[in-house]
Structure 1
Amino acid sequence: MKPSRLVLATLLAGTALPAAAAPPPAISVETLKTVTRTLSDDSFEGRAPATPAEEKTVGYIVERFKAAGLRPGNKGGWFQQVPLVELTITNVPTLSITGGKTPLSLAYKTDAVIGTYRVQPRTAVSASDIVFVGYGINAPEKGWNDYAGLDVKGKTVVILVNDPDWQAPGLEGPFGGRAMTYYGRWTYKFEEAARQGAAAALIVHDTAPAAYGFNVVRSSWSGPQLETDEAGDHLDQSQAVGWLTNDAARRLFAAAGKDLDTLTAAAGRKGFRAVPLGLKASVTIENSIRRSTSRNVVGLLPGTSAPDEYVLYSAHWDHLGRCEPVNGDDICNGAVDNASGIAGLVALAEAFAKAGAPRRSLLFLALTAEESGTLGSEYYAANPVVPLARTVGGANIDELNVMGDTRDIRVVGAGKSELEDLLKQLATAQGRAVKPEPTPEKGFYYRSDHFSFAKLGVPMIYFEAGSDLVKGGVAAGEKAKADFEANRYHAPADEYDPSWDWSGAVRDLQLYYGIGRRLADGGTWPNWYPGSEFRAVRDRSRAMK
């Protein structure tokens, strides 16, 4: 890692603004309130992509982008078309387990959530041998392979969530200690199981290493599921994928005469070998199939003297739509997550337009299908409307702070990009401390749209408010964050509240503005720190510009 003062000096070199420049921009609280309240209204039905609510959502975003002073950003158009396919389960897929001490019938949603990525009306797994593969990781560079010497073609693999060292007190360990790596993400585990030829892949849920309760799994997986519509209909994926509750997993292991805790401990040690459980799994999944097209919204503020170089802001407009009802309410409105982020995009666009366009262009992306696995950003990154080699860097906004101003901010995925030095300088000027995220084991870095760009080399900063509230301190901040995660995250209760305190959102957006203004008025190209997993691809990309 380069010394921060040197990196910062490089970033600021050639910038029209001095390090302690103009006063912070005016961020419109009225814009933040109006856009968040509007997009999270029941009439938008939770903003699920490829539903009638999408037309209303993207139409409103275009209206606000226009009013803010942006131009259409995709060859004269506001939209990038994103082809999607929607799978909706039409049966009740009970997971049957045989061959053990006691046959098990694991109920859908109560004991297990099962689905498929395959675009087929009917997918079945019949009497598939079950194998426990520990954390389901194949990492040659780390000398770790949970599939070593194992042929799982046609079999069902049971997998633990997160990394083997997620309980480490610090960041030392084969997989970054308690900081989750991509090997710990559920998406990776299903990808690797498919590469290994598994017929089915089941992850054992546990709230601490997963970073959310099973209610979040149930609400996210039990409705219509979206995938990008690609040639091959995803037939290279396992026939069935899903999650087991911890209790259901314990019953499954007990039926095999095994103990989950004992095998979990063994799986955390290097050299672990998969354990056949002597059980067989069967499940049938019936789906209705609907192909559709969703849209990313692309707004542009052209640069004055380097219009072919771009600084990027992103936020996702979608949420879960109709979801598991709570007290009769089945609309997951997604007010904080992420109507507030779109409100932030609009407010930033207004601030930039009012202050005057910078020398480089600014691209504002309102992305679709983040909640379905960052599909909109993945599609954009693979099919960019402006070349990634000409994209200087940027910032992603996922949930604004509505609990009040904080004395600190938290960098998600700290230690990766030179943009962190710029963020630190700007935050220090605000009198705020910059801290690494306190729970890197939750893998937030891999759970939002910035990751789609990072994988292809574009430096993106992603941060969130800390917990040290100016009014209330750390205790009040931690309480507010815990309440949101437990009671409102991905649930109908994430609704607009007129009593919210927007002062923290304003201060955070001033940081977002400062980062974009410095990058767009400057002439340098920030990079990933040496040793970052994204450095090599960025270097290759820049060499091709």
Structure 2
Amino acid sequence: MLICGAAAAALLTACTPTGDDGAANDGQAAQTEAAVEIPDAPAVEVANLKSITETLSSDEYEGRAPMTPAEDMTIDYIAEHMEAAGLQPGNNGEWFQEVPLVEITTDPKTADLRFMQDGKPLFTAEYGADEVVWTKRVREEVSLDDAELVFVGYGINAPEKGWNDYDGVDMEGKVAVILVNDPDYEMEGLDGPFGGRAMTYYGRWTYKYEEAARQGAAGAIIIHDTFPAAYGWQTVESSWTGAQVDMASQDDGASRVAVEGWVQKPVAERLMKASGKDLAALMASAKKKGFEAVPLGITASTKLNNTIRRQMSHNVVGVLPGTQRPEEYVLYSAHWDHVGRCKADETGDDICNGALDNASGIAGLIELGRMQAEAGAAERSMVFLAVTGEESGLLGSAYYGANPIYPLAQTVGGVNMDGLNTMEPTNDVVVVGAGKSELDDLFQPLVAAQDRRIEPETSPEKGSYYRSDHFSLAKYGVPMLYAGSGVDVVGKGAEYGRQQEADYIENRYHQPADEYDPSWTWQGAVKDLALYYQFGRVLADSERWPNWREGDEFRAIRDKSRAGAE
């Protein structure tokens, strides 16, 4: 859900730290800087970036929520501009790929969490202010009825690490109370059982709900804490209230826990105190291997009355067919959706416009299509994919991964964009997942040619690698570049950039204030889009097949898929 770092009222990507370069594991994929011929990039038309971003983030588009009238406006607009840019319809002559979704809207009037102890009322947590709960089960009524709370630490079951927070506890019919992030997120370095400061997938809220369901829990509640969550409560409230969208499934969500949600940290502290425990002490013990889950002797009840709606959403797909190897593909992606209408700010504005997140990324996607078409078709085909449902859990990209229009074994790699730097350029560039794949070998000389440098992320605990659409493709073995401006703003320095990044996260991210600003200069985006253009061109005009590094979690998947394609 979290966009990877923002700076200068723009997204200045600050992500996974640069890792060990390692030796290349495929002679064809290993590239030195000298071996990469840097193509010239056509000029970036800033007027196009401005116009597209301003239009898609206007109030008329009501925050671009999937399955709303704004979706039709949005995808038609994108298709029209892809065609004007010189692209062709990318789905067998059609611009759209259908993505089946289901929307569940919970009535907030009945969604308070009521806690009991020894058969007596303890207190009630108010929906929105104290907690946010929802369900992914497609039912008009879902409830918890005096379900026992069990504190399960970080809610991790990782056999390969010898770590199981659920060991010895039967969660059937109970509610897991879970800490956000990984046990070692407070470490300064990256040497820890879960990557140290850098979040692993075990730290993501998506994993924690999934694992609670595998353990047979009736509910899963995450304790919100701003630093390890990487966003404040206002983001939780605006993102998880109102209509919640999920991929339609054959079991209608029956495999999920009945109730998922978040509670404010003070609510958790109050619960622990009532059970004779101290939250800080429990958090400390949960960081150690061998932690044992703690029944709290408190029960929770809630009733979710839901309105169900099923509808097709859509990915938008454009293609620039290749001249020599059209059956091999380079992919550019960005998500077109945002959260739609959300909690109103103090002015009464309840439209989360999503200008940076991610109208700007769609503007970049369309502009890259224009630039590549202007330069002429490359040897390989180029696919331009605008996906739906990213804000609801990477739904559109996940659907494409499971139902690819172009074979993923034949997809060389590509670039994902989740926000552009609309302000000043930076001296540094950061790469999400740096050190994970051999894409780094191709990207490094392009960055150096701009007299810029690649730096480690400033906030690896945010787990940005698992929070945008490139992750959906990585799970199928496709290496994707996810990179952009750092925080060292030209002429202003890194401290200025960090301040702007923090300001965006606190005051605009997933809030009505993420609006188009005509004062944006877009010079940072110009530099970054030139890199993305060159990177795509290097991939598309070569016979390279970059792979994941030996030992990376996605390497075996890629090796298997490529073996089947050859």
User: Normalized against structure 1, the TM-score is what?
Assistant: 0.97
Shift of 1:464: 2.3
1:101-500 superposed matches below 5 A: 103-326=122-345, 327-500=347-520
Contact map agreement 1:8 1:421 (CA 8 A) in 2:
no
Equivalent residue number for residue 116 of structure 2 = 98
Shift of 1:91: 4.2
Contact map agreement 1:414 1:437 (CA 8 A) in 2:
no
Deviations 1:414-464 (A, max 9, x none): 221111121111101110010121211101110100000001100011012
Contact map agreement 2:150 2:293 (CA 8 A) in 1:
yes
Deviations 1:368-425 (A, max 9, x none): 0000100000000000001111101111000000121100011112221111121111
SS in 1 for 2:308: strand
Q: Does 1:41 align with 2:58?
A: yes
Contact map agreement 2:115 2:301 (CA 8 A) in 1:
yes
For residues 282 and 29 of structure 2, the distance between their equivalents in structure 1, rounded to whole angstroms, comes to: 49
For residues 220 and 7 of structure 1, the distance between their equivalents in structure 2, rounded to whole angstroms, comes to: 41
Q: Which stretch of the first structure deviates more once superposed, 405-414 or 297-306?
A: 405-414
Shift of 1:28: 1.1
Aligned with residue 508 of structure 1, among 528, 546, 554: 528
Contact map agreement 2:38 2:538 (CA 8 A) in 1:
no
Could you say which structure has the greater relative contact order, defined with CA pairs below 8 angstroms and 6 or more residues apart?
2
For residues 378 and 418 of structure 1, the distance between their equivalents in structure 2, rounded to whole angstroms, comes to: 23
Q: Does 1:71 align with 2:88?
A: yes
Aligned residues: 544
Equivalent residue number for residue 7 of structure 2 = none
Q: 1:203 to 1:12 in 2, by over 3 A?
A: closer
Q: 1:112 to 1:385 in 2, by over 3 A?
A: same
Equivalent residue number for residue 6 of structure 2 = none
Q: 1:7 to 1:190 in 2, by over 3 A?
A: same
User: Normalized against structure 2, the TM-score is what?
Assistant: 0.94
Q: Which runs of 5+ in 1 are unaligned?
A: none
For residues 131 and 487 of structure 2, the distance between their equivalents in structure 1, rounded to whole angstroms, comes to: 34
For residues 3 and 273 of structure 1, the distance between their equivalents in structure 2, rounded to whole angstroms, comes to: 38
Deviations 1:83-136 (A, max 9, x none): 000000124211111116971111101111011010000001101111100000
Q: Which runs of 5+ in 2 are unaligned?
A: 1-18
Q: 1:4 to 1:181 in 2, by over 3 A?
A: closer
SS in 2 for 1:371: helix
The residue type equivalent to 2:282 in the other structure is L
For residues 148 and 39 of structure 1, the distance between their equivalents in structure 2, rounded to whole angstroms, comes to: 48
Task: Give % identity.
Answer: 57
For residues 144 and 72 of structure 2, the distance between their equivalents in structure 1, rounded to whole angstroms, comes to: 38
Aligned with residue 529 of structure 1, among 540, 545, 549: 549
For residues 163 and 90 of structure 1, the distance between their equivalents in structure 2, rounded to whole angstroms, comes to: 32
Shift of 1:475: 2.1
For residues 125 and 475 of structure 1, the distance between their equivalents in structure 2, rounded to whole angstroms, comes to: 47
Q: Which stretch of the first structure deviates more once superposed, 231-240 or 467-476?
A: 467-476
For residues 62 and 280 of structure 1, the distance between their equivalents in structure 2, rounded to whole angstroms, comes to: 51
The residue type equivalent to 1:123 in the other structure is V
For residues 488 and 285 of structure 2, the distance between their equivalents in structure 1, rounded to whole angstroms, comes to: 39
SS in 2 for 1:218: helix
Q: 1:3 to 1:168 in 2, by over 3 A?
A: closer
SS in 1 for 2:392: coil
SS in 2 for 1:58: helix
Shift of 1:14: 13
Shift of 1:5: 8.8
For residues 3 and 156 of structure 1, the distance between their equivalents in structure 2, rounded to whole angstroms, comes to: 43
The residue type equivalent to 1:73 in the other structure is G
Deviations 1:252-301 (A, max 9, x none): 11111111001000110110000111111111111000000000000000
Equivalent residue number for residue 16 of structure 2 = none
For residues 400 and 242 of structure 2, the distance between their equivalents in structure 1, rounded to whole angstroms, comes to: 25
Q: Which stretch of the first structure deviates more once superposed, 434-443 or 331-340?
A: 434-443
Q: 1:425 to 1:436 in 2, by over 3 A?
A: same
Deviations 1:453-501 (A, max 9, x none): 0011000110121111113111221122111111111000000001012
Aligned-residue CA RMSD (Å): 1.8
Q: 1:275 to 1:125 in 2, by over 3 A?
A: same
For residues 313 and 244 of structure 1, the distance between their equivalents in structure 2, rounded to whole angstroms, comes to: 37
Contact map agreement 2:130 2:267 (CA 8 A) in 1:
yes
SS in 2 for 1:136: coil
